[in-house]
Chains A and B, each alone.
Chain A
Amino acid sequence: MKSVSEFRTIMTGNDAVAYGAKLARVKFISAYPITPQTTIVEKLASMIANDELDAKYVEVESEHSALAAVFASELTGVRSYTATSSHGLLYMHEMLHWVAGQRLPIVMSVVNRAIGPPWNIWADQSDTINQRDTGWMQVYSESNQEAMDTIIMGYKIAENADVMLPLMSMEDAFILSHTSEPVSMRNQDLINEYLPDLDLKFRIDPENPMGYGSYDTPDGSFMELKKDMVDSMGKARKVIMQETEKFNEIFETNYGGLVERYRMDDADYAIIAMGTVASTARFVVDKLRGKGMNVGLIRIRYFRPFPYDEILADLKNVKSAGIIDRSVSFGYAGATYSEVVSGLYGRINIPVSSFITGIGGRDVRSEDIENIAETIRKGSNGTYWINVKRVI
């Protein structure tokens, strides 16, 4: 019996992600440096330099080019990878659509960082929330181990014949990316069994010349192609569940699929959060339970496809809920709040409130989440900014 992990060690989230890409046997990497993504691609470059990874690394002159190069190499049929953050991701925006539209199962790491101005390099999920409509699956990790494993599961899910959509895997800036945690290095042989080589059906084949992404007319198949992407997002839900379970079985892990629940079984009140805020929320749940408040936590792992059904099922038995967003959506409440509420509408009628906090990397403290829980308990429908200073 092979050991599921080769060894266990302390490493940063960015190192864990780089090892995730290595374990997934990526063949082509192209990236452009941006804080706090840099240590991912530095690590990969150093692995290649030390003959620990058999891949080609190309540092390009912009993020737009990074994803364009990865798009093209993936189209030739080799597993390709990139990583970015914040403004770099925004600069890729056009290519994000292009990759998804061409149905290329690329996995990209994004270190969630604030959008300027003013410049700010700290944790904030506004960058990826901005990209929710690009056709990429989105996973938000809570630990370095999860960030590593999500790269591997990400390729498996993205390359599924019924899915064929790209996937972005997130870590919160610094809180994960530059913080060391214990991480188990997965056994490469077991990964190889779990994740076979990429076999891209519509790869570039000079023997069989085709046009890749030519224009289409209103009466052509454009609308059908877009609907098919939506349908695949739908099919991805089942694939995510299957592949996560398979991974859990092999590696003795315990990942939820689209969501993870904590003390929800008998909860009266639910906190919904994403990323590392969920870790603090879990601590607060225990603390409040000790004080007699029946609160639970739903951690959203996948923002796309969005877990409407899972959340609906969980909220059926609670009195009220609140959603924490570490991102800004100008002109309305938090983005996750909007998603959750639209999923509940007409099915269950409970008060749901929106909490915006941790913007630009501001610390999300346990007392902030306690305040949030208290507001939820009161049964509010409002939108609240938490831990905002008075600016004179």
Chain B
Amino acid sequence: MPTSIPKQELMAPGHTACHGCGATLAMRYVLKALGEKTVVSVPASCWAVIPGAMPFRTLDVPMVYTPFAATGASISGLREGLDIQGKTDYNVVGFAGDGGTADIGLQGLSGAMERGHNVFYIMYDNEGYMNTGVQRSGSTPYGARTTTTPVGKERDFKKENKKIVADMMIAQNVPYVATATVAYPEDLIKKIEHAKAVNGPKFIQILAPCPTGWYYPPEKTIEISRLAVQSRMFPLYEFVEGRFYLNKSFKPVDVSEYVKAQDRFKHLNEDEIENLRRYVEERWNQLLEWEKLYSSPIKA
């Protein structure tokens, strides 16, 4: 019987990711979509430790470890090095976390996308520096408690809205930009396939819920990923060569359902949840405008 996603597994079991890790699912799905002719570059991030210590590897494709800010440049060099040898049929993939993408790696990302290399940049977004112990990143959403925005006697949490790198990539007119999340692997894989058809840089931001850093039980990863989309906290969209398509096919749920499922938001009072609700609504309306601005939906 055919499965809804490819059967081929290029991410082996036996890795050392936390229980219920969303980032691991993101890698598993991305490799299912791309197949074995793929080379992956990973900066400092959860994924730099998930394969385990030397001599272990967990991917059945080559994986290059690089310093934190080096993802964009390393995929540029990998692509060109392979092309020089005529290995143009290999997919070159940068697989970086949100800290490595929204913060320290942003310059390298922007440079690589601008230069037009035929590469994939996958940002697995777990909304914080989870590998180093849950610190705030530019991609952490408003309201979240992290270890550097702790809630103490004087209540504190991240007061700024999430920096959305995919939106920035649209502003830069990257040929293919999309958002996806692990609850919808069929959608995620379809997007990678669409991206593959584009000869040039592609950027995909995958929301990867993190039980360790979002403070929820590990079995809830898919549920929370789903709620992120339904509550419009993390809208799914696709931007293909200038055309923008917003996925509106979900039955919306209130932001509070998403917020209340995670202890990182536990401290928020009703007014603060209302702030988030307002932000989510404004952003959704903005994305609807983009859809008009950037023409019609793409054909599947």
Residues 19 to 36 of chain A near chain B (Cβ within 8 Å) = 27-28, 30
B38 surroundings in chain A (CB, below 8 A): 206
- B108 nearest in chain A by CB position: A65
Give Cα distance in the complex from A116 to B82, angstroms: 38
**When the two chains form their complex, are residues B57 and A209 in contact, meaning their CB atoms are under 8 A apart?**
yes
The reply to whether the CB of B61 lies closer than 8 angstroms to some CB of chain A is yes
Minimum C-beta distance from B47 to chain A (A): 11
0/1 per residue, A336-379, Cβ < 8 Å to B? 00000000000000000000000000000000000000000000
**When the two chains form their complex, are residues B64 and A75 in contact, meaning their CB atoms are under 8 A apart?**
yes
A212 surroundings in chain B (CB, below 8 A): 62-65
0/1 per residue, B54-68, Cβ < 8 Å to A? 101101111111110
Select which of B56, B63, B107, B110 is within 8 A of A209 by beta carbon: B63
Give Cα distance in the complex from A66 to B107, angstroms: 12
A64 surroundings in chain B (CB, below 8 A): 69-70, 73, 108
**When the two chains form their complex, are residues B49 and A215 in contact, meaning their CB atoms are under 8 A apart?**
yes
Minimum C-beta distance from B58 to chain A (A): 8
0/1 per residue, B63-97, Cβ < 8 Å to A? 11111011011111110111111010010000000
Q: How many residues of B contact A (CB 8 A)?
A: 45
- B117 nearest in chain A by CB position: A58
Chain B interface: which of A76-84, A122-130, A277-285, A325-333? A76-84
**When the two chains form their complex, are residues A30 and B108 in contact, meaning their CB atoms are under 8 A apart?**
no
B77 surroundings in chain A (CB, below 8 A): 28, 30, 58, 68-76, 80
**When the two chains form their complex, are residues B80 and A73 in contact, meaning their CB atoms are under 8 A apart?**
yes
**When the two chains form their complex, are residues A220 and B53 in contact, meaning their CB atoms are under 8 A apart?**
yes
Select which of A28, A58, A80, A94 is within 8 A of B67 by beta carbon: A94
The reply to whether the CB of A62 lies closer than 8 angstroms to some CB of chain B is yes
A204 surroundings in chain B (CB, below 8 A): 39, 62, 64, 78, 81-82
The reply to whether the CB of A205 lies closer than 8 angstroms to some CB of chain B is yes
The reply to whether the CB of B48 lies closer than 8 angstroms to some CB of chain A is yes
B51 surroundings in chain A (CB, below 8 A): 211, 214
A78 surroundings in chain B (CB, below 8 A): 81, 84-85
Give Cα distance in the complex from A76 to B78, angstroms: 7
Minimum C-beta distance from B194 to chain A (A): 23
B248 surroundings in chain A (CB, below 8 A): none
Given contacts A58-B115, A206-B90, A211-B59, contact A72 B78 (CB under 8 A): yes
Give Cα distance in the complex from A214 to B111, angstroms: 25
Select which of B53, B63, B83, B107 is within 8 A of A216 by beta carbon: B53
Residues 110 to 130 of chain A near chain B (Cβ within 8 Å) = none
**When the two chains form their complex, are residues A206 and B62 in contact, meaning their CB atoms are under 8 A apart?**
yes
- B38 nearest in chain A by CB position: A206
**When the two chains form their complex, are residues B67 and A72 in contact, meaning their CB atoms are under 8 A apart?**
no
Select which of A73, A98, A214, A216 is within 8 A of B81 by beta carbon: A73
Given contacts A61-B108, A206-B38, contact A215 B85 (CB under 8 A): no
- B36 nearest in chain A by CB position: A206
The reply to whether the CB of B41 lies closer than 8 angstroms to some CB of chain A is yes
**When the two chains form their complex, are residues B81 and A80 in contact, meaning their CB atoms are under 8 A apart?**
yes
Give Cα distance in the complex from A27 to B80, angstroms: 10
Give Cα distance in the complex from A69 to B74, angstroms: 5
Minimum C-beta distance from B260 to chain A (A): 36
Give Cα distance in the complex from A212 to B64, angstroms: 5
- B52 nearest in chain A by CB position: A214
**When the two chains form their complex, are residues A73 and B78 in contact, meaning their CB atoms are under 8 A apart?**
yes
Give Cα distance in the complex from A214 to B43, angstroms: 10
Given contacts A78-B84, A209-B62, contact A214 B53 (CB under 8 A): yes
Given contacts A98-B66, A209-B57, contact A215 B76 (CB under 8 A): no
Give Cα distance in the complex from A250 to B74, angstroms: 37
Given contacts A61-B108, A65-B111, contact A215 B78 (CB under 8 A): no
Select which of B53, B70, B82, B111 is within 8 A of A217 by beta carbon: B53
- A204 nearest in chain B by CB position: B62
Residues 1 to 59 of chain B near chain A (Cβ within 8 Å) = 36-39, 41, 48-49, 51-54, 56-57, 59
Known interface pairs A210-B62, A211-B57, A216-B54; 17 further A-B residue pairs with C-beta atoms within 8 A, sorted by A's residue number: A28-B84, A60-B73, A61-B110, A61-B114, A68-B70, A69-B77, A71-B66, A71-B70, A72-B75, A75-B64, A77-B85, A80-B81, A211-B54, A214-B53, A215-B54, A215-B65, A220-B54
The 10 A-B pairs at the shortest CB distance, nearest first, are namely A72-B77, A76-B81, A61-B111, A73-B81, A65-B73, A69-B77, A68-B73, A68-B70, A213-B65, A73-B77
9 A-B interface contacts by CB (under 8 A):
A72-B74, A72-B77, A95-B70, A204-B39, A206-B61, A209-B57, A211-B56, A212-B65, A214-B54
Interface residues of B (CB under 8 A from A): 36-39, 41, 48-49, 51-54, 56-57, 59-67, 69-70, 72-78, 80-85, 87, 90, 107-108, 110-111, 114-115
Interface residues of A (CB under 8 A from B): 27-28, 30, 56, 58, 60-62, 64-66, 68-78, 80, 94-95, 98, 204-206, 209-217, 220-221
